[in-house]
Structure formats: C-alpha cells, structure tokens
Amino acid sequence: MIQKKICMLGSSAVGKTSLVRHYVDGIFSEKYLTTLGVKIDKKNITIEDQAFQFMLWDIEGTDQYSGFQPRYMRGAAVLILVTDCTRPQSYLDSLDILRQARKETDAPAILVINKSDLKAEWKLEHQQLFDIEKEFIGTIYTSAKTGESVETLFELIGDYFVTQY
C-alpha cells in the first residue's frame, strides 16, 4: 500500500471540509481546524490494483486576515485547491494561496471548483484557462451537497500517482 499526503487548501467557506466529510475516515473532530488549523482524515482507494492510502490534510481556509502554516505543506504529494463557483474571489485567492504554498512545496496541484449544484457566478476565461494549464495538473467540478464527482477527484489523484510509478 502506498501512502500519500494530500493537502486541501482554499479560502474560507469554499467547502473543503464539507467536500470530503462523507467520503473519508477520520477520528478527529473539526474543532482541530480552528485550533490547529488542520484536520487529518484518511481515504483508501485502489487504482489499477494498486492500493493507496491518502492522508488528507484539510487545512483551515485562509483569507486576507489569516495565513496558513506553510509547514503543513511539507512532503505533500498533491495539493487540492478548492474554489467556490459562486465567488469569483475564491479563484483569485486560490492562486494566491498556491503561490504561498509554492515556497514550501512544488507538489502538483488540482483545481477543484466546488458548489457545482449552484449557479456559477464566474466562468473560466481564456487567460484563466491558460493560467490553470500552467499551475494545475487538472480541474474538476464538484458538489459537496450532491456528492457529485467527489470520488472522481480521488480517482483522478490515484490515476496521477499510478502514472508516476
């Protein structure tokens, strides 16, 4: 079994914690998020006969008033940048967060556009698509509310690791 550390990042209230709440095994309460700034869950998945155990570091949402512990990024195999399709600012924040994270890690990042069940308030434009291609290894639309594509997100990450071996 291969273990991988995966960090989930994003600005406040984009739904990072909600996104994986029903899809992972955890023993820690969410109060750790507010005290330590991180909560760790685990997700087991098998891709092409290879078992993976993802240790998901759900890192507290950052905004203009609070930063995050860059140390938490250390050793991450993949970064998940979560944005909210109803808040254009969240996308800009994610780019900013990614920039900060890059000081600690050069792990590949995936862009997750959450709340796909709601009406999108922003769309990826040409420049953004260009940026994304540069910064992220993939983009996926998810809904924490309906569970849409959450499993697909983990499978995508698993596929990525399989191609690495």
Partner 1 sequence: MPIKQNDQQSDQQLQQLKSILLNDDNKRVVDVVRAQAKELVTEVLTEALKDRQKKDASITTVLTPIVENSVERSITNNRDKFIGYLYPIMGSLVRKSVAAFLNEFMEKTNKLIENSFTYKGLKWRFQAKQANVSFAQYVISQTYVFRVEQVFLIHTETGLLLNSVALDPETGNDADLMSSMLTAITDFIADSFGKDKQQGEGLDVIKTANFTLVIKNGPSAVIAAAVTGNMPENVPNQLQKSLEQIHQLYFDELQKFKGDAAPLANTEQQLRDCLITQSKKQETNKNNKKPWYALIIIGIVFSIICYQLFAFFKQDETFETLQLLNNEAGIIVINIKKEQDEHYYLEVWRDPAAISIRHWLQKNKIKVENIALTEQLFISADTSIIQHKAQKIYEKFLLSGQWKNKELTLNGKITYADKRILQQELSVIAGGLLVDSSKLELKDNSPLNIKTNILLAQHIFKEKVGEISTIQLHFRKADISLDKISEQIVKEQTTRLNELFLLAKTLNIEIGVLVLGTSDNSGVKAKNNQISQQRASIVKAALINNGIDASKLHALGVGEIPLNNISADARKVLFSIIYL
Stretch that binds partner 1, among 38-46, 92-100, 109-117, 136-144 (CB under 8 A): 38-46
* Residues in contact with partner 1, shown as a per-residue x/- string from 73 to 92 under the rule CB under 8 A: -xxxx---------------
**Contact criterion met (CB below 8 Å) for 148 and 117:** yes
List the one residue from 1, 119, 125, 126 that touches partner 1 (CB under 8 A). Answer: 1
List the one residue from 30, 46, 53, 63 that touches partner 1 (CB under 8 A). Answer: 53
The residues in 3-32 that bind partner 1, with binding defined as CB under 8 A, are: 3-5, 25-28, 32
List the one residue from 57, 91, 136, 154 that touches partner 1 (CB under 8 A). Answer: 57
Residues that bind partner 1 (CB under 8 A): 1-5, 25-28, 32, 36-38, 40-42, 52-53, 55, 57, 69, 71-72, 74-77
